[in-house]
Structure 1
């Protein structure tokens, strides 16, 4: 598991503790409006229907442990973004009581931003590697095109031009070799990251 993803897991565990304390305090027990509702959140945010905050944090945990594979970038990013939205929703409920807000203000002033930052780091760690790989492949494609162009030019070149073109081709092949090494290195990083995230 990557450092960023591990940190997010720890923060969700902490959120679960806060939710449990909130439920044990029975903040909504005397609120008739809340008691009449089937759930605390809109169904577009949570599938869970409950008046217990811990049940919603449990849904976040399930989503977090069942994340799509990182190579499925759009689905992976979408799932993490949903987790961020769910975390913010839970924090809003926690902050709805003056006691919780007062107790946590000094120690956790911007908790929602901290959670969203943790989610963002998980997304970036994966997306940046794929972006790097894409850029390297594009660079490789351009170098191959340049080599092929020089080879075509060789057909109509005089001896002096041919010598210069051959030197350029050698230089381009050297750059192409370095580019392919970079591609292999990035692919290894992606494989390592994916193994860590599925542990």
Structure 2
């Protein structure tokens, strides 16, 4: 086979493969596009490509064959030409394999994301238990809606405690001196409860921010 026949044969193989790639990219489910949008499916020495669509690889193969044709035309060393041919062959094999493994890659990515979510939730659960707020149900820490409900609950508690403190302050001003100590003790108790409630509010607000940051990236 002469050099012209070699190049023509490679171009014909690429035309056939290009049709398969176009069909593959056109029929990609939206879920697979989303799962693989940031995934590198090839060694960078073969292709520079991200995501489920494979047509960028076809364009790079076109350039490789063009480069080989120039090498042949300029009669470069046989070793150089042989390396180019091997690289082109490796690229053909990798691209053909990728056509059949998109679904598998998507499933692997889905499992990896699920594993990351579980690890995140477990870390949050441990931090929750170590925070001193274990009396807030751990399950609440893993659900955005429940977090907001818990926050609203504590905000209402804080408001009621503040109102109770105001009532006790008014009572303290008007009560007999012999009754002041019990009222002062009640005020001190309410302030302690209010402090704990405010700490819980801050803690829940922090958990909402920590919960939503990773989920924003998962749900892009």
Bigger Rg, structure 1 or 2: 2
Same fold (TM over 0.5): no
- Structure number with the higher helix fraction is 2
Taking structure 2 as the reference length, the TM-score comes to: 0.39
Q: Which has the higher contact order (CA 8 A, sep 6+)?
A: 1
